[in-house]
Copies of this chain bind each other. A is one copy, B any other.
Amino acid sequence: MSRYVMGIDVGGTNLRCAVIDGSNDIVDRQSVRSHADQGMDVLLSNLLSLINDVRKSHDLSAVGIGIPGIIDSSSGVVTAAPNIANVKDYPLRRVLSDRLGGGVEIVIENDANAIAVGEWWKGAGKSVDSLVLLAIGTGLGGGIILGGELWNGADGMAGEIGHTTVYPDGVLCNCGNYGCLETCASSVAIRRMVSDGLKDENIVTSLRGLTTQAHKEEIPYIAMKAAEGGDKFALAIWVSMGRALGIAVASLVNMLNMEMVVIGGGVSNAWDLFIDSLKTEARKRAFPAPMSRLEIKKIILGDDAGILGTAYLARKKLNELKS
């Protein structure tokens, strides 16, 4: 059996991958277009090309694939994925296995779960056995490591911390629930808070002018810059996000007594604007003993976290099959 294992991150735009050798060092990287917005057939064809291309130079034993969405990792089925057009209950592991032929193990995992594994394996959580990962981007993805293992639940669907309720009578979430953490802490949440606030003509803020011509994707960045420049309305938005995160972190601490929270995702670049309110709120609410031992860290592997995480899971699957 070869020593080479590949991890792939399926983004809306790119498929990024890394190949690791038997010493778990990265020996190859590639990035190609995913065209996931053209549906699963196109994505599948691009995945196969990428994997077959890598196989020309490396004798792969296993491939791990991280996908944003609801993934049944126990059966390797993509239940739903916002970036892949029209996908529903697609048995990706089976289809890929059939098309690749024998000898390559496939692991499919939710992207945030993969990031949690990567950060625990080689990143911010290297020294701990338990952590919760919050990936704050368009939405809020989560991953839970307990006792040095990814906890992905009975159907591989665990870790959806973005869809735990923070404000029961809060804003309607994409998932159908009200007041999910994601509705308070994500780029979608920041945009909503900006646009709701601007409806009130009494609010004085630089965002009124700055956002008029802006593309909606730019608004969280503009809100970050405005807050850094002292705009009180913009600052309050980040404090409000920190408060919601703090409420969720306190509940997690009381429930899981984990050692660390690792925070990543594009929105986490506004770290200094929300971290104090997050900590203040969590300390007010959590039991003192488990809270005092909690470390809260930034993700350190960046874009490599998910790729390394899926590679780790693929390697682990191989080892389990061997034993």
Is A39 in the interface zone, CB < 8 Å from B?
Answer: no
Is A112 in the interface zone, CB < 8 Å from B?
Answer: no
Q: Is there an interface contact between A290 and B157, defined as CB atoms closer than 8 Å?
A: yes
Most buried by B among A130, A159, A259, A290: A290
Is A158 in the interface zone, CB < 8 Å from B?
Answer: yes
Beyond A165-B247, A166-B168, A247-B168, whether A160 also contacts B254 by CB under 8 A is yes
CB distance from A260 to the nearest CB of B (A): 9
CB neighbours (8 Å) of A129 from chain B are 154
Q: Is there an interface contact between A164 and B254, defined as CB atoms closer than 8 Å?
A: yes
CB neighbours (8 Å) of A287 from chain B are 70, 157, 160, 163, 175
List residues of A (22-74) whose CB comes within 8 Å of B's CBs: 70, 72
CB distance from A163 to the nearest CB of B (A): 4
Is A144 in the interface zone, CB < 8 Å from B?
Answer: yes
List residues of A (216-266) whose CB comes within 8 Å of B's CBs: 247, 250-251, 254-259
CB neighbours (8 Å) of A297 from chain B are none
| Selected contact of A146 from candidates B128, B151, B250, CB within 8 Å | B151
Given contacts A153-B258, A157-B287, A159-B257, 8 further A-B pairs with CB under 8 A are: A146-B151, A158-B255, A161-B254, A163-B287, A164-B255, A165-B251, A175-B287, A177-B286
Q: Give A residues with C-beta under 8 Å from B.
A: 70, 72, 79, 128-130, 142, 144, 146-147, 149, 151-161, 163-168, 175-178, 247, 250-251, 254-259, 284-287, 289-290, 293
